[in-house]
Amino acid sequence: MSERVAGAIYDLGYQRYIGERLGRSYAVRSLLAFSFKTAFGVGRGDKSKIIPVIVAVAVYLPAMFSVFVASATGAPSAVSYAGHLQFTAFLLALFAAAQAPELVVTDKQHGVLSLYLSRPLTATDYAVAKLGALFGAMLCLTLGPELLMFLGRVFMSTAPFATFKAEWGKLMPIFGGTILTSAFFASIGLWLASFASRRGYGSAAVIAFFLLVPAVVSMFRNVTGGDIKRYAVLANPMLLIVGFANWLFDIQARQRTTIARADLPGQDYMYVMLAVCVVCVALLIRRYRRVEP
Amino acid sequence: MPLISARELTKRYPGVQALDNLTLDVDPGIIGFVGANGAGKSTFIRILLGLLAPTSGSVSVLDLDVARHPLEVRRLVGYMPEHDCLPVDVSGTDFVTHMGRMSGLPFAAARERAAEMLRHVGLHEERYRLIGSYSTGMKQRIKLAQALVHDPRLLLLDEPTNGLDPEGREEMLMLVERTGREFGIAVMVTSHLLGEIERVCNSLIAIDAGRLQYSGSVTAFTEETERLRIEIDDDVPEFAAELRARGLAVEEHGTELRVSLRDDAVYDVIRDVAAELTVPLSRMEITRHRLEELFRPADDHAEAAHV
């Protein structure tokens, strides 16, 4: 026997694995769960946690403030559901810019993607799992605070049962609004990031999209008029959320804002968002089907 | 049941013939898969994994048609790619556990087997460190661990000794040999260095420019490629002619003759010829063709040193 040296292989024999082997859907769920944790920087270095923590604090703090005010004063709404959703949109754009590349670009850059594709799952499964992870993470940042506000209003009020009866009609818009908004940012962010070869490029692409597109649209609106000018609002991703949230929670757009001037039917905002989601998901899946590992 | 069975497998890229009409049957064991860089080894492995569709022909792994059951094949196969394939900011144990789950192991089992495999490859101490801080040798080992974590029936190792120093190569080859012999897992290991892997393999496949050059046992391959190098001072053409007259295959290289070493009787023939022509032999040596030379015998200048 040779001497035991550093890094030597210890002889403990090999045991075959005879337990159960789960299927493809389990692999997809495992990847989704793993990526969901990655989206918040769990199990990663401290640097990966900065943006998720900032965004989480920024979205939960107003919600908690609202609950606190409700409990202290009995006034029902310090922060409105629609207001919170509109405010969250900007943070979701930031979150997408930081974390969508973390989910897909690093896998490609370091070759981990080819390892995934040599396991029993397809390229489409991979794309779906990553999208699910980012969507789930965003849902935590949108639905979570709104539900907190809802529960706060109900249980901090003097007559919880009566308040619930009055408020429960808001539950549908809360779920619908946060789900569609999360899907909107997740699908755009992940699709844009899937082209980047480095994380920085992916982040830059997502940020550029959410900053440049509104700027271009507003320039375009300045040189046109009539119906084209009105409908151009729908090309601005940030205004889409505002218009959508207004319609969803039945709020009149503030006077003299772009949305009020455009005066479009509220469901138009939703249709455009749905269409963008569908197109981005389709493009994302097509993108991964073409990857040659 | 053959481990791998390819039938007229062809893969064409625009302008490149990566695989050309490959037909072969491979039995379980440790299989060396040799060829120069760009000979089509990685293409063949990607087709085996169902990641790449062949232009024509078919291949089956463990009796499963790869084109029809790619996921089932990948469930039974462990793959260690040649290139970098590791995340940076994940710990060794988290990564191998995750890869075990990707192959269908429940969480607890994946965790347990990840620990076992990390111990097997000698990374037990470093398992909680981030992979980004690993050395090249450690990275190669964790690549092997992730390929083994789900207890595959076949292990595909693409150039596992790449980038390692001589000691690291030796250790990696020992790991490969142990995995194949003691674990009972069939291993196919590719290399562009024949000399390195032939020691640990019991069968060999050699390809060049996508064409099959050899498929069979290592011993037969060694016999086929072994040459006896004879140096004599003069009368080289006469000596060569006499050897040929007695049925030996002879190549002339200046004052040097190379004789195919079929069996030990070759030595007797050379001795007899030298005695008859009274030509002194100044040197006799067994050599091996270099892999490249074997594939391109026209190249006269290549030195027939060791592989």
Burial class (CB in 10 A: 0-12, 13-18, 19+), A86: buried
Task: Please report the sign of the dihedral spanned by the C-alpha atoms of residue B105, residue B106, residue B111, residue B112.
Answer: negative
Nearest Cα residue to B213 out of B9, B25, B34: B34
Residues B228 and B205 in one domain: no
Q: Is residue B305 part of a domain?
A: no
What the block records as the tokens of B71 is: 């996921």
Length of chain A equals 293
Q: Which domain holds residue B162?
A: 4-209
Instruction: Please tell me chain B's helix, strand, coil percentages from 3-state DSSP, rounded to the nearest 5.
Output: 35, 30, 35
Q: Which long-range contacts (CB under 8 A, 24 or more apart) does B47-52 make?
A: B47/B9, B47/B11, B47/B19, B48/B4, B48/B73, B48/B77, B48/B156, B49/A118, B49/B73, B49/B74, B49/B77, B49/B79, B49/B156, B50/B74, B51/A114, B51/A117, B51/A118, B51/A292, B51/A293, B52/A292, B52/B11
pLDDT in tens, A197-243: 999 999 999 999 999 999 999 888 888 878 888 888 888 998 899 99
Interface mutation target, options B69, B71, B95, B127, chain A, most CBs of A under 10 Å: B71
Separation between Cα atoms, residue A243 and residue A270, nearest integer Å: 9
Q: Residue B303's pLDDT is what?
A: 40
Separation between Cα atoms, residue A213 and residue A210, nearest integer Å: 6
What the block records as the tokens of B51 is: 């990641």
Tell me the nearest-neighbour CA distance from A39 into chain B, angstroms. 13
Interface mutation target, options B103, B174, B177, chain A, most CBs of A under 10 Å: B103
Nearest residue, CB atoms, B109 vs list A19, A114, A121: A19
Q: Is residue B132 part of a domain?
A: yes
Range with the lowest mean pLDDT among A191-195, B32-36, B291-295? B291-295
Residues B163 and B132 in one domain: yes
Residues B227 and B87 in one domain: no
Q: Is residue A13 part of a domain?
A: no
Q: Residue A284's pLDDT is what?
A: 95
The CA radius of gyration of chain A, in Å to the nearest whole number, is: 23
Q: Is residue B276 part of a domain?
A: yes
Q: Is residue A253 part of a domain?
A: yes
CB-based contact A122 B101, cutoff 8 Å? no
Q: Is residue B96 part of a domain?
A: yes
Q: Is residue A276 part of a domain?
A: yes
Residues B201 and B112 in one domain: yes
- Please give the DSSP secondary-structure letter assigned to residue A232: G
- For Cα atoms B113, B119, B125, give the angle at the middle one, nearest 5 degrees: 120
What is the three-class DSSP state of B17? strand
Residues B55 and B154 in one domain: yes
How large is the average pLDDT for residues B265-287?
Answer: 85
Nearest residue, CB atoms, B75 vs list A19, A112, A120: A120
Separation between Cα atoms, residue B260 and residue A138, nearest integer Å: 71
Residues B286 and B202 in one domain: no
Tell me, what amino acid is at A72?
A: A
**CATH number for B19:** 3.40.50.300
Q: Is residue B217 part of a domain?
A: no
- In total, how many domains does chain B have? 2
- Which chain B residues are within 8 Å of A30, Cβ to Cβ? 98, 101-102
- The Cβ-side half-sphere exposure at A280, using a 13 Å CA radius, reads 20
How is the beta sheet containing B211-217 ordered, strand by strand?
B77-80, B154-158, B186-191, B30-34, B203-208, B211-217
**Boundary of a domain, candidates B139, B174, B209:** B209
Q: Residue B300's pLDDT is what?
A: 39
Q: Residue A1's pLDDT is what?
A: 43
Q: Which domain holds residue A64?
A: 24-289
Nearest-Cα residue of chain B relative to residue A12 = B120
Q: Is residue A15 part of a domain?
A: no
What the block records as the tokens of B157 is: 């190792």
Crossing angle of helices A24-39/A81-109, nearest 10°?
A: 110
Percentage of chain B exceeding pLDDT 90: 45
Q: Is residue A260 part of a domain?
A: yes
Crossing angle of helices A237-248/A81-109, nearest 10°?
A: 140
**CATH number for B248:** 3.30.70.980
Nearest residue, CB atoms, A112 vs list B71, B86, B175: B86
- In total, how many domains does chain A have? 1
pLDDT in tens, B127-141: 999 999 999 999 999
- The Cβ-side half-sphere exposure at B218, using a 13 Å CA radius, reads 16
- For Cα atoms B20, B208, B27, give the angle at the middle one, nearest 5 degrees: 80
ipTM of the modeled complex? 0.85
Q: Is residue B216 part of a domain?
A: no
pLDDT in tens, B195-230: 778 788 989 898 888 888 888 888 777 766 777 888
CB B140 within 8 A of CB B172: yes
- Which chain A residues are within 8 Å of B116, Cβ to Cβ? 12, 15
Q: Residue A8's pLDDT is what?
A: 56
**Boundary of a domain, candidates B209, B232, B254:** B209
Q: Is residue A104 part of a domain?
A: yes
- The Cβ-side half-sphere exposure at A259, using a 13 Å CA radius, reads 20
Residues B22 and B44 in one domain: yes
**Boundary of a domain, candidates B209, B231, B253:** B209
Interface mutation target, options B42, B47, B89, chain A, most CBs of A under 10 Å: B89
CB-based contact A106 B87, cutoff 8 Å? yes
Q: Which run of H or E residues covers position B229?
A: strand B226-232
- Of residues B40 and B198, more confidence is placed in B40
- Max CA pair span of chain B: 77
Burial class (CB in 10 A: 0-12, 13-18, 19+), A58: middle
- Which chain B residues are within 8 Å of A121, Cβ to Cβ? 71, 102
Tell me the nearest-neighbour CA distance from A146 into chain B, angstroms. 33
Q: Is residue B307 part of a domain?
A: no
**Other C-beta atoms lying within 10 Å of the C-beta of residue A237:** 20
- Please give the DSSP secondary-structure letter assigned to residue B159: S
Residues B185 and B281 in one domain: no
Residues B126 and B260 in one domain: no
**Could you write out the DSSP letters of every residue in B100-112?**
HHHTT--HHHHHH
Tell me the nearest-neighbour CA distance from A107 into chain B, angstroms. 7
CB-based contact B103 A119, cutoff 8 Å? yes
Q: Is residue A246 part of a domain?
A: yes
Residues B122 and B187 in one domain: yes
- The pLDDT tens digits along chain A (293 residues) read 444 455 555 555 678 888 889 989 999 999 999 999 999 988 777 888 899 999 999 999 988 888 888 777 766 666 788 888 988 999 999 999 999 999 999 999 998 998 999 999 999 999 999 999 999 999 999 999 999 998 888 887 778 888 888 888 889 999 999 999 999 999 999 999 999 999 999 999 999 999 999 999 988 888 887 888 888 888 899 889 999 998 988 888 777 788 888 788 888 999 999 999 999 999 999 999 887 65
How large is the average pLDDT for residues B79-92?
Answer: 91
Tell me, what amino acid is at A186?
A: A
What is the three-class DSSP state of A216? helix
Residues B42 and B132 in one domain: yes
CB-based contact A111 B121, cutoff 8 Å? no
Separation between Cα atoms, residue B57 and residue B181, nearest integer Å: 32
Nearest-Cα residue of chain A relative to residue B151 = A17
Tell me the nearest-neighbour CA distance from A95 into chain B, angstroms. 19
What is the three-class DSSP state of B29? coil
**Other C-beta atoms lying within 10 Å of the C-beta of residue A60:** 15
Tell me, what amino acid is at B300?
A: D
Q: Is residue B237 part of a domain?
A: yes
Nearest Cα residue to B263 out of B206, B208, B220: B220
CB B85 within 8 A of CB B143: yes
Residues B32 and B126 in one domain: yes
Interface mutation target, options A10, A28, A30, chain B, most CBs of B under 10 Å: A30
Q: Is residue A121 part of a domain?
A: yes
